Structure 1
């Protein structure tokens, strides 16, 4: 690069680079990079000039060279693919005519904050420090798949969109970030792909807007984070995929709007999550898939649960906030796969861990009723008898109530009309209460039933009492057996 070939603006850039000082072409801090196509030659720099400076630029004794430029219009393509750049690259508030190309480059620092770019090609880039795209506006694809960033990736307030196509707008698949992905307020019109990414810190997407209606808006399958994934107050239009993700901290969807009507909304099957928060926001539109997921703490409000869920083999240690069983059970009834016994067992265990045995019994009772719907007619009939009589063993006092009612009916009836004795000279004195008990209790005998023989419809009543007694005894035994087996 000959000095005589440089424009006055490029000469200023060359001098600032050698001294490592900041050069700002902006006439005022309110200057808009979006208007950069109209900027004149006094602030226009050719991309190949910047490339030459970064690869073999001049040095000033006692100074550390750095490309620290603001407010420039950069024409041509800044091509640094496979390059090793030992200087910080800070191109803030700039307007790029073409997408920079940093494929497989090795850099100390890359800062394109508040600039306007038609995209960024940086697959497999290695950045030893941080990569900043704060409030950057990209009108094409940002390709950072396989990137290795020792520090943090900053995307707060960035805006990204691209022509409709199959490629994700933000590509971070298989990226490795040594600290945080810091992107509160990020705007993506299209798909943000993070599948296979490894992030040592936190993924902060609070107040982000991820829009890709009907398609994948946030694809983060097998994502691994050492911190949290925060989507508080976010808006996700399209489905979010976290299948197989490993999130050590909290997946926080508090106050978020999650919408993919008629399709899946959150796919988190086979994931391992420290805490899942789904609360304080409008009801999720679309289905919730937590099959085979393992969650330490599930904080989910009934109002936030969508109309369709998939909870097969979901395991969780604790459930919050504490709600009555009547408010939790509708969630289990919305499972796409119908009756899922494991989901009831998990909810029962959660209530027992906090000492709410009453709620645990209600869940188990509802489980038996759901199971009854899956049986053939005779199984449903027998289940109905157990439900009405003893509540499947969870309401044993019902049996006592039935026995007392039948005892009263039989005692009054037979007190008004004594049955005739079989052998008048051998029969004991008739007692209507113990005679009725003899009919009701199939094992215990008070000597009354064998000594007297009712006739007519009284005989029919005695048969009803005998059959009812056997049914009550059998259902009580079945309920007790079920209760003991649960313990």
Structure 2
């Protein structure tokens, strides 16, 4: 058995003590069998030697293969040399609160009871690589000026395996663990990188990093978490790399809130069982979720959601290409300074598969979504460019897509095809999206296409009215093309003129006018046959007109002009009245129609009616 003198000698000379090998999967009973008797080290004796040696070698203590029996109490101890107890079993508790040491290394050791190093101060590395811990490891407010190494560690404590709240690491923190309980890094401060690469976390709340500050990257590619990964109010000085991770939290798999990431956030090809929630998060680079497979968890008060992004700020792209989502994608109140790309995304959420509202996309919003999903709801939103794919690749719009669309340009093969655009916008009841798209088309020089889209929009608005409203709108459509084709009214005025001329021409001898004194005198003198009972008639017909009368001769074309052109009716007086009966009634109707058509023509030309009513 190891003696006090041997331990002290090793510390003074820097020599290593190797007591043998012991398997890490042995339980306390197995390691106390007789064959391990020479490897046992009394914890009290170990403490006494560690605290009493006054002239240690700079290399300190290196002890391997030990079976430390009893509780090792190093609380409030200050050591002037590094301690390395590796490949060993600690059968009792390890208490290191407020320990101060140049370095501490427990590589490949087995901790059968809790280890508490709260407020410990390690001036170099704190190493627990390949450790097996059967109970809780506590590093509350601990400080390691070098690295924190927990690579390939097995942490079996439940419900919490590692509590490193408030830990301060001067270099990198490697937490590549297989943990049965939660890993808690809340309020941690890490001056280098945080590595969770290929870690396996099995607790319902797998990882908690609330209010942590990581000066460099977070590397978590290949992470496997059976519960929620949560980061609230976290600051990341560079990028966060979580590609090809598997997150099986059944409700919320990944939760980021008030997290500020200076570089990229890469969630490429992650697979989740529940939701990914990104709230009030700032990303200084790209947010890449390409090729992800997202399950569906609950969003309070909402349908199942796969990805919920609220108040996101992204300095580059939000890349959602090739993702598969079982629930809805919801983007609200966010600002994306690059592109929002949904190319080939398969969205299975219902009743709405995609909802983008109150968001700004500075560059291009690519909507080439697999069309077999549920409708998408857009607006209000602002985009620099909206890319609409060709046939068979456009998503169906939701009927409740609200107004408030703001679009810089339209891109894609149908960007100036009004009939295709109208068909795509058909489910939307609000006219504002059509008007906005028409404005964009007109701005790019396609005035005819914009006019056609506005006309089709007015037609769809009319179809939603009641019967009286539809009737009036039908007249408006036929007569002036809803104000977008005003020359239709002019064509109808020509029709009115032609009809009035035909009536006037066929009835040209039957128009009447009151006889004047000049007319009566001329009849008495020149046409006694027109006398009635020896007296001139009170009314004469146009067919009786004679030269010398002070009444102008009746001309069918001139009379038709006074019917079809209201201005002519005002400025040109006619002394002839149509014969009573059908002719008079028809000409009155034609005159009323002419007034209406002229009003519509002028209003349409001036723009008063050049929009849906």
Smaller-chain TM-score range?
0.7 to 0.9
**How is 1:51-450 mapped onto 2 (pairs within 5 angstroms)?**
67=149, 69-70=151-152, 73-76=154-157, 77-92=161-176, 94-107=177-190, 108-118=192-202, 119-162=206-249, 164-165=250-251, 168-212=252-296, 214-262=303-351, 264-283=352-371, 285-301=373-389, 303-321=394-412, 322-335=415-428, 338=429, 340-370=430-460, 372=462, 381-422=471-512, 423=540, 424-425=545-546, 426=549, 427-445=551-569, 449-450=574-575
CA–CA separation in structure 2 for the residues paired with 1:13 and 1:184: 40
Unaligned runs of 5+ residues in structure 1 are 24-41
* Counterpart position of 2:117: none
Give the deviation of 1:275 after TM superposition.
3.2
Query: For 1:56 and 1:329, how far apart are their aligned partners in 2?
Result: 64
Evaluate the alpha carbon distance shift between residue 65 and residue 137 of structure 1 in structure 2; reply closer, same or farther with a 3 A threshold: closer
For residues 187-215 of structure 1, give each alpha carbon's deviation from its aligned partner in whole angstroms, at most 9, with x where no partner exists: 11111111011111111001111110641
The Cα shift of 1:412 comes to 3.7
Gaps of 5+ in 2: 1-42, 47-62, 70-83, 90-101, 109-128, 298-302, 513-539
Give the distance between the partners of 1:329 and 1:395, measured in 2 at CA. 18
Q: Secondary structure at the match of 1:172?
A: strand
Give the whole-Å Cα distance in 1 for the aligned partners of 2:371 and 2:486: 38
- Residue deviations 1:78-127 (CA, integer Å, cap 9, x gap): 332211123423354x5333332212112232212123221222222221
Q: What is the CA–CA distance in structure 1 between the aligned matches of 2:387 and 2:285, rounded to whole Å?
A: 22
Shift of 1:435: 2.7
Instruction: Determine the C-alpha separation between the residues in 1 that align with 2:280 and 2:241.
Output: 19
Distance 1:13 1:463, change over 3 A: farther
1:431–1:448 contact (8 Å) kept in structure 2: no
Answer yes or no: is the 8 Å Cα contact 1:111–1:132 preserved in 2. yes
1:245-299 deviation line (CA, Å, top 9, x unaligned): 121111211211223222x433332222213523332227445444332222222
Instruction: Count matched residues.
Output: 449
Mapped to 1, the partners of 2:389 and 2:88 lie a distance apart of 57
Would the aligned equivalents of 2:500 and 2:564 in 1 still touch at CA under 8 Å?
Answer: no
Cα deviation code 1:369-423 (max 9, x no counterpart): 4555677876654443232112133212212322333333443444344242424
Secondary structure in structure 2 of the residue aligned to 1:462: helix
Q: CA deviation at 1:307?
A: 3.7
TM-score w.r.t. the length of structure 2 is 0.65
Shift of 1:19: 12
Higher relative contact order (CA 8 A, sep 6+): 1
Cα distance 1:291–1:202, how it changes in 2: closer, same or farther (>3 A)? same
Partner residue, 1:11: 86
What is the aligned partner in structure 2 of residue 33 from structure 1?
none
Residue 30 of structure 1 is matched in structure 2 by: none
Distance 1:113 1:416, change over 3 A: same
1:458 to 583, 586, 589: 583
Cα RMSD for the two superposed structures: 3.6
Q: Is the 8 A contact 1:270 1:290 kept in 2?
A: no
Alignment correspondent of 2:124: none
Q: Residues 362 and 483 (structure 1 numbering): CA distance in 2 closer, same or farther, change over 3 Å?
A: farther
How much has 1:357 moved relative to structure 2? 0.8
Larger proportion of helix: 1
